[in-house]
Amino acid sequence: MQGLVVRFKSPQPRQREESENYFMCIDEKHERQRLGSLSDEPTVDLSIIVPAYNEEERLPVLLKDIRAYVTARRQREPQFSYELIIMDDGSRDKTVDVAMDFARTHKMRELKAVRHVINRGKGGAVTQGIMCSLGRYIMFCDADGATRFSDIDALLVQAKECAVDSRVVAIGSRNNQALSDTVVERSHIRAFLQWGFHTYVTILGVRGVRDTQCGFKLFSREAAMRIFPNMHVERFIFDVEILLLARYHHIPVVEVPVNWHEVAGSKMSIVRDSIQMALDLLAVRLNYMLGNWKISNAAID
């Protein structure tokens, strides 16, 4: 049984296509530019990674939320700098066009759009985005705008307080509302399945985190440099691999309550993908336990 799971469920990330090394922006002279690297020195305060697959309808809500946040923050901190990387994961709709139109309309030169030739999955899109980010802090958020973007301030506060040797992971949590004034709105079936998945994750050894799957996570650059070069998973279970790698590197992980509401239009099938995630998680644990996947102890050069 173990051998079958490892053989058929072990992720095999593909190499980038040449065109995937470039991004689009609204720079009039250089609309197509080569991506940076996580190994480069940081040039902005914050990198925002948004994995997007067929999100032409839901993406504008998030973009408006992000724009409102960065505008307000620049009023408080005029020197604040950021980049917004839209990782289009092989969409068949106008996701990139919507993003670029938004950038042109609002003169948002910080927005970069990257097209994947072939769909990788959410985890692959997040990993590829983070591997080319230039922020001192790096975060990813779901394209549906389910989490209030300004809640990132709470993650940043906790990250700075809990960092050890400049390494920290701060994750949004939909399960700590009793400790805060945040609000979570979700269906009963989703809440039940999340409880069941959390129990399964705990049994397989990922303890101490109440909400592994919230798509709102923040990393110091130093933490990202140790976690993401070691990533294998490109589908939904990638969040758990992030936490496993953080624990391996003794990187503090802090949960922060966030405001979240369920948004229609999810690409995830609750039943089918829950089964898929359970098998993927078992494969991840077995690959690490059996030594099939090696972890580099050094940050990328």
* pLDDT, tens digit (0-9, with 9 covering 90-100), for 157-187: 999 999 999 999 999 998 755 445 555 555 5
* pLDDT, tens digit (0-9, with 9 covering 90-100), for 107-153: 999 999 999 999 999 999 999 999 999 999 999 999 998 899 999 99
Using CB atoms within 10 Å of the CB of residue 92, give its burial: 0 to 12 exposed, 13 to 18 middle, 19+ buried: exposed
Computed over its alpha carbons, how large is the radius of gyration of the chain?
18
What is the SS3 assignment for 223-255? HHHHHHHHCCCCCCCHHHHHHHHHHHCCCCEEE
Q: If you search the block for the tokens 């089964």, which residue do you land on?
A: 275
SS3 state of residue 82: strand
> According to the model, what pLDDT value does residue 81 have?
98
Rounded to whole angstroms, how far apart are CA atoms 19 and 34?
9
> According to the model, what pLDDT value does residue 14 have?
85
Q: Which of 195, 187, 201 is nearest to 239 (CA)?
A: 201
DSSP 8-class letter at 41: P
- Please give the share of the chain, as a percent, with pLDDT higher than 70: 79
Query: 22 has which bridge partners?
Result: 34
* pLDDT, tens digit (0-9, with 9 covering 90-100), for 48-75: 999 999 999 999 999 999 999 999 999 9
Rounded to whole angstroms, how far apart are CA atoms 173 and 17?
35
> According to the model, what pLDDT value does residue 175 have?
74
Cα angle 50, 201, 172; round to 5: 35
Amino acid at 245: L
Q: If you search the block for the tokens 């009039």, which residue do you land on?
A: 28
Q: If you search the block for the tokens 């940050």, which residue do you land on?
A: 299
Interacting residues of 16 by C-beta distance below 8 A, sequence separation 6+:
128
Amino acid at 195: W
Helix (H) or strand (E) holding 139: strand 135-141
Mean pLDDT of the residues in the chain: 86
Query: 50 has which bridge partners?
Result: 86
User: What does the pLDDT average to over 241-253?
Assistant: 93
**Which pair of tokens denotes residue 45?**
């305060």
> According to the model, what pLDDT value does residue 199 have?
61
User: What does the pLDDT average to over 31-40?
Assistant: 92
Interacting residues of 67 by C-beta distance below 8 A, sequence separation 6+:
106, 108
**Which pair of tokens denotes residue 35?**
């991506």
Helix residue spans in the chain (DSSP H): 2-9, 59-76, 95-105, 122-131, 152-162, 188-203, 221-227, 238-248, 270-289
**Which pair of tokens denotes residue 275?**
């089964």
271 band by pLDDT with thresholds 50, 70 and 90: low
